[in-house]
Amino acid sequence: VEFRSLIHIEDKRAFLDSLDPSVTPIITGGDGTLSRFVNSLNGNPTRDIYYYPAGTGNDFLNDLGKTGNTEPFLLNPYITDLPHIHFNGETHIFINGVGYGIDGYVCEEGDRIRKKTGKPINYTAIAIKGLLFHYKPTTATVVVDGKEYVYKKAWLAPTMKGRYYGGGMNATPAQD
């Protein structure tokens, strides 16, 4: 068994394509790792890729009805034809959901704190402080099925493919 980290590989598609066909690539990580990986392939894998969950929230895994004790499973059926967003001139694919507003602020602030301190993140505390002091609502333009909606002073505008985000919050229970 050989392990290689994809974190420092600039062109992940070229790396995967260069592997011998007998090699089975397994992506290990959580929702963030999976999201970055899917975006590096533009949601279009050229070979079979397996997934072994190792994150903390594992909303993607939860959405599939699997637990963290699962064997690696084929990822390809779940990472093709994914929804996307356009933000600040860039297109991003997402596999679970994407937050705009206070939830996006909380994730961004959590990443900043983690990078600075390396300590576990208390997302609830960040959200409360954001609601009370730091987050300022903004204008959100949302396009659904070609129809544009503009919301002034938006606090929250999540876009979901899966049912779960935020480490297990079932935001869209009827989503399939």
Across the range 168-172, mean pLDDT stands at 83
- Residue 96: the pLDDT is 86
pLDDT digits (tens, 9 = 90+) for 59-106: 899 999 888 788 999 999 998 888 888 878 888 888 888 877 898 898
- What DSSP string describes 36-103? HHHHHTTT--SS--EEEE--SS-HHHHHTT--TTPPPEE-GGGSSS--EEEETTEEEE-SSEE--BHH
- Residue 153: the pLDDT is 94
Could you give the CA distance from residue 72 to residue 113 in angstroms, rounded to a whole number?
A: 31
- Does the pLDDT of residue 6 top 70, yes or no? no
- Does the pLDDT of residue 110 top 80, yes or no? yes
- Kindly indicate the confidence band of residue 156, based on its pLDDT and cuts at 50, 70 and 90: confident
- Kindly indicate the confidence band of residue 113, based on its pLDDT and cuts at 50, 70 and 90: very high
Could you give the CA distance from residue 7 to residue 29 in angstroms, rounded to a whole number?
A: 11
